[in-house]
Structure 1
């Protein structure tokens, strides 16, 4: 049987994603230490980028389900010495039960998936961050119910998180308002595929009008540090602040994938305020990914 991969939210059907979210909520509410479906199972975790939440959540999730996880970096493997990705994928997948990659180039993950005999998970690439969206959707479902028909506002860079929110709008059937500098908009092909669900606005306040959820990310992601000063100037009018949240619904939630730069993309007043759910959102990486691993490995 061919393995199922999770490179994008589009790799699962809408029904499968909804089932996965409900399973994550169930696993969070009722942890059974005797339930260990991954006993004897191994997850290989390949990191080209540093991580806090991704590494801890996958490693803890495997341990809680009775399995184990291997941390692999290019410095410690032949990947860092130029071994072809195809060869690495074939070798690694012959020894483990699942592979998760947090890497720079999206093609690295798609190549691994093509040559792997086990499920491959995208832990983050320059194009997409689907595991974070599982946690975000779980958080919204827990606190507000189904997100279908709701309005979500994305403010800031049209980056991998923005791309994944566009895909989520398709899969979970919500409207996505985006406010970002015109030269930093998300990829047009990803936008076009979402059709009428995506709309662009000139200011955060316009995009946040009657929103149910407001989301942002850092202005300069990992690998863009040399652009920090330039981006601070370009994005200075695309900050989530009290004015932004005042335009949204009174019970709107605020999310951020973390780490955050208070005073840049979001003010401390918002991220540390009553509408912010960033820490339940971060914790839900564990539960959503346990549900994902269960779905992929225990088929």
Structure 2
């Protein structure tokens, strides 16, 4: 297991499988409360939280995860994330003397990478950046395994912006040998280096295919995933993106092109009537709140593997 978790690709396939197995056990044990085997596993440890971006699911699940493992959280004010009051490297070096891990949610991947490099004994976890959202991908894979029992023979389709969520999902799918197809408007595809890096680690010949036609991407897929059309920090592009991405809405018609019983996935928050219709988001096919719940269990497993 590496020192830091900045990308899904920091994990080996074996690490990822082990993390998902541990996540399932932690979920089963949660009903035991303080009698759970891991209730004091991280007693005496401290985890700092530095959030430059607003958060509901990530902050809530990390706080609960830390406490349910017996550790304590330290909230670092968001103004320390911009590096103007104090260089980020120095922030990391200070935190390294007090805490064991840092969970950072930032607008820039390089900020998380810089802090991790500056503090050789501080475990840095990327809780979302402009380029990647690795913690979300862990919960996504756990959710799919819960619903399918096995990932073998399945295929995932992503419809929309080739963004941070799509990047981490493609990486996780590749490590687990799951074919991944993505449809995006021209100019909004997954970056070539992302596709190449995922293809280089793909197990069992798992294919990563990019196209511009959502119907082509979802045809026969077992899960359809989408995300907001405008991410935080892109608000000035909102009106233009709504026009460009309108043909990429996941609705009943698009779901009908997928395999029978296909699941609908979204990392949330969702904008009903934009990237997904209400009929799909609120349908029995939707597993979005299972994904949100599983953020807790996969992040507990991640903390145990990094700090335990």
- TM-score range, shorter-chain basis? over 0.9
Task: Provide the C-alpha distance between the structure 2 equivalents of 1:80 and 1:6, rounded to a whole number of angstroms.
Answer: 21
1:9 deviates by 0.8
How far the C-alpha of 1:78 sits from its partner, in A, is 8.1
- What TM-score do you get using the length of structure 1 for normalisation? 0.95
Partners of 1:49 and 1:244 in 2: CA distance: 32
Q: CA deviation at 1:243?
A: 1.1
The alpha-carbon deviation at position 81 of structure 1 amounts to: 3.6
Pick the aligned partner of 2:111 from 108, 111, 114. 108
Task: Write the mapping of 1:70-149 to structure 2, written as runs, cut at 5 A.
Answer: 70-75=74-79, 77=80, 81-116=84-119, 117-149=121-153
Q: 1:136: how far off?
A: 0.5
When structure 1 is superposed on structure 2, of 125-134 and 162-171 the one drifting more is: 162-171
SS at match of 1:265: coil
1:207-218 matches, cutoff 5 A: 207-218=217-228
SS in 1 for 2:247: coil
Residue 10 of structure 2 is matched in structure 1 by: 11
1:169-222 Cα offsets, whole Å, 9 max, x none, are: 221111111111011011111112233621123322211111011100000011
- Deviations 1:136-188 (CA, angstroms, capped at 9, x unpaired): 00111111122244210000001001111221122111111111101101111
- Structure 2 unaligned segments of length 5 or more: list them: 200-205
SS of 1:44's partner is strand
CA contact (8 A) 1:3 1:118 kept: no
CA displacement 1:107-154 (0-9 Å, x = unmatched): 000011111212110000000000000000011111112224421000
The number of residues matched between the two structures is: 296
**Rounded Cα–Cα distance in structure 2 between residues aligned with 1:94 and 1:147:** 42
RMSD, aligned α-carbons: 1.5
CA drift at 1:293? 0.3
Shift of 1:250: 1.2
Q: Cα distance, 1:249 vs. partner?
A: 1.1
